[in-house]
Amino acid sequence: MKCTIILFVVALIWPFAVSATSANHPHFKADVDVTDQASLQRGAKIFMNYCMGCHSAAYMRYNRMGKDLGIEDSILQSNLMFATEKSGDTMTIAMRKGDAEKFFGTAAPDLSVIARSRGADWLLTYFMTFYRDDSRPFGVNNLAFKDVAMPHVLWELQGIQKPVFKTVVTEYGTQHEVIDHLELETPGTLDSDEYQNTVNDLVNFLVYVGEPAQIQRKSVGVIVILYLLVLLVIVYMLKQEYWKDVH
């Protein structure tokens, strides 16, 4: 009985606890559309050029990606395949786990299902909230992932952001500084809107990679629902026909 009460209380306060811990940084809403091939193609380009040096997507095959995204094998092999010559291979990398731990302090995770585990909005917020922090090994930190071990690989596109602090007073009268917002310190090659659109394409691609079959699943689901609706009408008419002499 006690366990049931505790679980009930946790369930009630959990949304407020999450809100309280995540309210210190901005949240971005991802515009996800896995049927947008142009967006997925742009996202695949960003992933291959900026992410796949350290991160694999080992549950995805190049030829499956090419088929779903409408990319011909010749274009796929010449522009998006850097670690293998076989389009049927999975999207793995050459970096060994031990080397990654040596370089970054931790092994870079496989990103096959990162969008399913973290969520598209979290990923977009993560890519948008890197900021300069000279105390960190790579000189950057992140509002969504404090003390992140990853460098800001997209800094040339976004530029460098700096934190702007404010002083807050606790209920005990003590003061401390917290980050109020981020300001662009060094411009990148893209403006703010262009960078967010670029990152959104990357997030859209990661959502697709997390479940490549969702495109077919959703289209088949529509057909199944329409079939069931037609079947419902037919069954209802049969029921009326069978029972008309009973009344």
Give per-10-residue mean pLDDT for the chain (247 aa).
Answer: 48 42 72 95 95 91 93 87 82 81 81 95 97 94 94 96 91 87 95 97 97 86 92 91 77
Specify the DSSP element, H or E, that contains 187. Answer: strand 175-187
* Beta strands 175-187; 159-169: pairing state: antiparallel
> Residue 114 burial (CB < 10 Å; 0-12/13-18/19+)?
buried
174 is written with which tokens? 């003590």
Distance CA 211, CA 213 (A): 5
Give how far the C-alpha of residue 100 lies from the chain's centroid of Cα atoms, to the nearest Å: 22
Looking at residue 202, its pLDDT comes to 98
What residues have CB less than 8 Å from 85, skipping those under 6 apart? 77
CA distances 240 to 19, 135, 246, Å, are: 53, 76, 10
Residue 228 DSSP code: H
Check the CA dihedral 44-48-49-53 and report its sign: positive
User: In this structure, are residues 50 and 195 in contact, taking their beta carbons and an 8 Å threshold?
Assistant: no
